[in-house]
Amino acid sequence: MTPEAPIAEIELLTAPPRDPAWTIWDILLIGIIFFLAFIGSMFIGLLAAHWLLQFADSPPDASVKALLSNALFLVPVQLCAYLITFLFTRMLITLRSQNDFWHAVKWNPPRANLATALAFGGATLAVLVQIASGMLPIPKSLPVEQYFRDAPSAYMMMAFGVLVAPLAEELLFRGLLFPVFARGLGVSAGVGLTAFLFALIHQAQLSHAWAPLLLLFLVGLTLTITRAVTKSVAASWIIHVAYNATLFGFLYIGSQGFRHLENVK
């Protein structure tokens, strides 16, 4: 054995682990788990809904299509599916990285002064998007509006859109997908592809219209660039929460406390 052999073996043993430790196949597996969890949660929800409606004096439409367009049914179902998927994802990423989940996905909470600036940036981004929406050919009616049929539904959507959706989407796109894309394609391509997929998953809610999807793509670019520059998923999450909260704030004010939702449709 040559003198260099032990050195080579030591270097091999001390080589830094791959970052990220997971692959696109792991993310596809997570997607499958979410799909199965959503189907299972929806099935249980449908059984519960039909059982409860049997005792109503004048039961509303309990068809699958009607329930899936009702935020009071869909949000709890989706929340349950998110929770199951998160528990699986946390276990999988922890095993793959042999590290704490939040450390592995680069959560890295920013300092207070930066967090404040990020929140202000998220609110400003929402204002700019609202201004741009008035200049672009946004469809007068969007599928997502069906979930805002009354005040309880609007409050449910607001809670989900501020407390749940930003966390789930940031963990998926900026925590899991972006590092994989950046490792395989480079940071610039990873930023663009992540933003594109971020907009793509919302296309059904936006009638597949190019104008709102373009705006959402630009929002995705902002979030992913923030993640890339700060190396913090928590940073993009703060912007996302502030952005969504500001949009819901506009809706709340415009509908006079969700009492006149017809005025903002």
- Asked if residue 12 has pLDDT above 50, the reply is no
When pLDDT is averaged across residues 68-80 and rounded to a whole number, the result is: 92
Distance CA 43, CA 112 (A): 43
Report the mean per-residue pLDDT for the chain: 89
Which pLDDT score, from 0 to 100, does residue 192 have?
97
When pLDDT is averaged across residues 234-250 and rounded to a whole number, the result is: 97
Let me know whether 31 and 141 are in one domain: no
Let me know whether 127 and 49 are in one domain: no
Which pLDDT score, from 0 to 100, does residue 61 have?
56
**8 Å CB contact between 106 and 179:** yes
Q: Roughly how many angstroms between the first and final C-alpha of the chain, as a whole number? A: 77
Give CA separation, 94 vs 104, 157, 165, 206, in Å.
Answer: 8, 31, 22, 35
Let me know whether 68 and 117 are in one domain: no
Domain endpoint, select from 67, 84, 104: 104
Domain count, the chain: 2
Let me know whether 227 and 264 are in one domain: yes
- Beta-carbon-side half-sphere exposure of residue 242 (alpha carbons within 13 Å): 20
Which pLDDT score, from 0 to 100, does residue 59 have?
54
Let me know whether 117 and 73 are in one domain: no
Let me know whether 93 and 140 are in one domain: no
Domain endpoint, select from 104, 123, 144: 104
| Token reading at 153 | 């539904």
What sign has the CA pseudo-torsion 65, 69, 72, 73? positive
- Asked if residue 142 has pLDDT above 90, the reply is no
Let me know whether 33 and 123 are in one domain: no
Kindly report, residue by residue over 79-135, the tens digit of the pLDDT: 999 999 999 999 999 999 999 999 999 999 999 999 999 999 999 999 999 999 989
Domain endpoint, select from 104, 124, 148: 104
Q: What percent of the chain has pLDDT over 70?
A: 88
Let me know whether 185 and 221 are in one domain: yes
Highest mean pLDDT among 143-147, 148-152, 166-170: 166-170
Let me know whether 128 and 258 are in one domain: yes
* Nearest residue to 108 (alpha-carbon basis) of 238, 243, 195: 238
Let me know whether 134 and 210 are in one domain: yes
Let me know whether 221 and 115 are in one domain: yes
| Token reading at 68 | 């899936």
Let me know whether 124 and 245 are in one domain: yes
Kindly report, residue by residue over 191-201, the tens digit of the pLDDT: 999 999 999 99
pTM for the whole thing? 0.89
Q: The domain containing residue 80 runs over which residues?
A: 1-104
In three-state secondary structure terms, 14 is coil
Distance CA 246, CA 128 (A): 11
Which pLDDT score, from 0 to 100, does residue 104 have?
97
